[in-house]
Structure 1
Amino acid sequence: MKRFAALLLTAVLALSLPLSTLAAGTIEVTEDVSVTDTYDWTRFKGKNITLNVYNWGEYISNGSDDSVDVVSAFQKLTGIHVNYTTFDSNESLYAKLRSGAADYDVIIPSDYMVAKMISEGMLAKLDYGNIPNFQNIDEEYRNADYDPTNEYSVPYMLCTTGIIYNTTMVDKAPTSWADLWDERYSGNMLMFNNSRDAYAIAAFATGNSINPQSTEEVDEVVEKLKSQKPLVQAYVMDEIFDKMIGGEAAIGVYYSGDAITMIDDNPDLAWVFPEEGSVLSVDSMCIPATSENQEAAEMFINFMCEVDIGKANAEYIGYTTPMQAVWDVLDEDLKYSEIAFPSEEIAEKEKVFTDLSDEVNSELDVKWSEMKSYDEGGSGVIFLLLLLAMIALACFNIWRKLRKKSRNMY
């Protein structure tokens, strides 16, 4: 993600020396990171606790490019080991948890998925006595529709969707989602590989709601996606980084924070918020109902809401912080970035996802799978039919020869 600041780990962390107390009220963790000393960060030391944290890819400051290694800092401070793994979409996160294939203690789904998991009893209620830094979350991001009383989630980052394109490969800059159906981009376009974000693009382009209320509405919008298939080079998530940075595609769609990263690595890239509007998502920290380490998980969430940690994460990944105290100390480039913090005119057109009814959600899953199978497996079906035809022809020829031989013998 965007590497705005050189946030160096110090000998305190690298050499495992004791943490030092600074001026009253803080404990130094690294040279650029300190945390409040009124919180008992050490109460789990020596208890051999491991937290399984499941987050989006490239979504935390990880120590590369002279940034803060947030996970290592937390482990050093608390004595809690963190097993950190990543997912690439809300749907894959949901499927993994629903299958019971793995146990997690902290997850970071987006707003509509938080609502879905709450309704299905998949999340634990939070004890805010263990998360005093929740006070750092701005009021406007509390008590959102997906979690009206903030019983289950703490906002982590915000982002919007938009179009990223290569200025050396695109003659005229795109201005709308409808441009993604332009045949000029045939074979050079990247689309979201998840149903909600892809659906939203087609919904914007057709003037429909990004939150369908009927199965008929789903069918109509997915037909629009189907008509786009011949133009799409690939349906991607994190793969977009290598493809756009490496010039393998002319145009793609993704999240604002990741766009900042890609543009930083390839200055030929540019970003646009489409004129129809875009999706504003809030990714939140939650604890699965199956977690056996809830208090330690709440400590991790509290750590992520420390101002210095929030700053390190925001400056590394380039996403929008929900904490004013973090924004106040951000690097100036990010603080006034039109991508991370768009104008009021753009913000007024932003829409948010809501949880869909079971019937509509099921229809979207089915139609999305059909659309993907049609796109990715269409040539394979044709090949199979040709192969079967060839086999049938070969069998027919063999039968004719045997029949002829039999008649000659007679």
Structure 2
Amino acid sequence: MKRRHFLAASGAAATFPFLPSCSKSGGASGGKTLTVFTWADYLSDDAAASFEEKHDCKLVIDTFDSNEAMIAKLEAGATGYDVLVPSSYAVRQLQEKDLLQPLDKSLIPNTANIDKDYLSRSLDGDMNVSVPYMMAPTVLAYLKSKVGDAEPSWRLIERPDLKGRITLLDDMREVLGAALKTLGHSFNSTEEAQVNAAADLAIEWKKNIAKFENEQWKTGIASGEFFLVHGYAGELILAQDENEDIEVIVPQEGAAFSCDDLCIPKSAKEVELAHAFINHLSDAAVAAENMEWIGYRAPNTAAYANLSEDFRGSPILFPPDELFAKCEPIAYLGDQLPIYTAAWDRVKNA
């Protein structure tokens, strides 16, 4: 599953220091280097620079473009990383593969700032191996000029007047999860009957859409080729800023509200500095500035008061409590994955 970017980001891996002239002496960390393996464009310059200055160190960023690529690299024996930023379900995979070390929360006092409402639904609610970093939902967007009387629901996909003008993500978990929510089930249900019912609904949706795809929906809705698209909030919020005809909604049944987390691999060399980095990004002021720069929501309650009115008022990033309660992170399925792959094969071959 590929990462969703609010900012245009290259998928190519790149390694670069933020401050090449960082001092090599003095300071709590003695001029050490911290290497972070993360998504592109996922840390503000200010957040990076203030960490380097405070800890007298150099921050080096290496990027990946999918959780699977990151995990494969680590399993192949790649070392040298001190902090990882995988999606929550990938944290569970890394933990299962014994590639993460437990966190020492005495070194991360700012975990007290993390949104407890989110933690109650997260995959590592006690923050044993990970601390939530940034999150955003998967949504629907439509052209107001083409879609009248639009109920904020996944059922929009079924409207006959939109036939052939709709795209759904070519993503097993996102499509089956949306169908599960439409039917009143958990996005991550492992009840075979429920997943099969979701597949049946997705097959009905398939009859009404132009295609499943992961790229053209962004330009397609902007150009008017598509009237309704299923996509990631980041790109669609940006598209909405450029085209007032676009309306972005979190469906009323609930949606995926996925999170990327901060964790420390077992092979980390700068363990204490890695904890300090996680603590730094969990600071209320740093988290707020970093949120505004990236465009994602950090689940950090203490930071919310520091956000601009426009950002904090986003009904997509900060949906009403009743709606947010229906949203879920994408869970790691483990040995239940074949239930989904069989159902998705049936959808794709229908």
What's the TM-score bracket when you normalise by the shorter of the two chains? Answer: 0.7 to 0.9
Output the CA distance in 1 between the equivalents of 2:331 and 2:165: 31
Aligned residues: 332
Is the 8 Å Cα contact of residues 257 and 339 (structure 1) preserved in structure 2? no
SS of residue matched to 2:254: coil
Q: Which amino acid aligns with 2:288?
A: K
Q: What is the TM-score normalised by the length of structure 1?
A: 0.67
More helix by share: 1
Residue 29 of structure 2 corresponds to which residue in structure 1?
43
Query: Tell me, which stretches of 5 or more residues in structure 1 are unaligned?
Result: 3-12, 19-39, 62-67, 376-410
SS of residue matched to 2:213: strand
- Give the 3 Å change call, closer, same or farther, for CA 141–218 of structure 1 in structure 2: closer
Report whether the alignment pairs 1:235 with 2:213: yes
Output the CA distance in 2 between the equivalents of 1:58 and 1:166: 29
Please state how far the C-alpha of 1:370 moved relative to its aligned partner.
6.5
Query: Tell me, which stretches of 5 or more residues in structure 2 are unaligned?
Result: 1-5, 8-17
After TM superposition, the structure 1 = structure 2 runs for residues 213-362 of structure 1, keeping only pairs within 5 Å, are 213-230=190-207, 231-236=209-214, 240-358=217-335, 360-362=336-338
Report which stretch shifted further, 147-156 or 227-236.
Answer: 227-236
- Give the 3 Å change call, closer, same or farther, for CA 330–204 of structure 1 in structure 2: same
Q: Which amino acid aligns with 1:364?
A: Y
- Which whole-Å deviations, capped at 9, do the CAs of 1:333-366 have from their partners, x for residues lacking one? 11222222222332343345444351x2133245
Is the 8 Å Cα contact of residues 144 and 150 (structure 1) preserved in structure 2? no
Output the CA distance in 2 between the equivalents of 1:59 and 1:275: 29
C-alpha RMSD over aligned residues = 3.6
Is the 8 Å Cα contact of residues 52 and 59 (structure 2) preserved in structure 1? yes
Structure of greater Rg = 1
Residue 15 of structure 2 corresponds to which residue in structure 1?
none
Please state how far the C-alpha of 1:153 moved relative to its aligned partner.
0.9
Is the 8 Å Cα contact of residues 111 and 131 (structure 2) preserved in structure 1? yes
Is the 8 Å Cα contact of residues 139 and 248 (structure 2) preserved in structure 1? yes
Please state how far the C-alpha of 1:43 moved relative to its aligned partner.
0.8
Report which stretch shifted further, 168-177 or 153-162.
Answer: 168-177
Q: What is the TM-score normalised by the length of structure 2?
A: 0.77
Please state how far the C-alpha of 1:148 moved relative to its aligned partner.
4.1
Please state how far the C-alpha of 1:327 moved relative to its aligned partner.
0.9
Q: Which amino acid aligns with 1:368?
A: W
Please state how far the C-alpha of 1:367 moved relative to its aligned partner.
4.2
Output the CA distance in 2 between the equivalents of 1:208 and 1:144: 15
Report whether the alignment pairs 1:54 with 2:38: yes
Select 1:173's aligned residue among 143, 150, 154.
150
Please state how far the C-alpha of 1:156 moved relative to its aligned partner.
1.2
Residue 182 of structure 2 corresponds to which residue in structure 1?
205
Residue 135 of structure 1 corresponds to which residue in structure 2?
112
Output the CA distance in 2 between the equivalents of 1:184 and 1:103: 54
- Give the 3 Å change call, closer, same or farther, for CA 242–84 of structure 1 in structure 2: farther
SS of residue matched to 2:137: strand
- Which whole-Å deviations, capped at 9, do the CAs of 1:79-108 have from their partners, x for residues lacking one? 3231231425x5555455455578643333
- Give the 3 Å change call, closer, same or farther, for CA 278–324 of structure 1 in structure 2: same
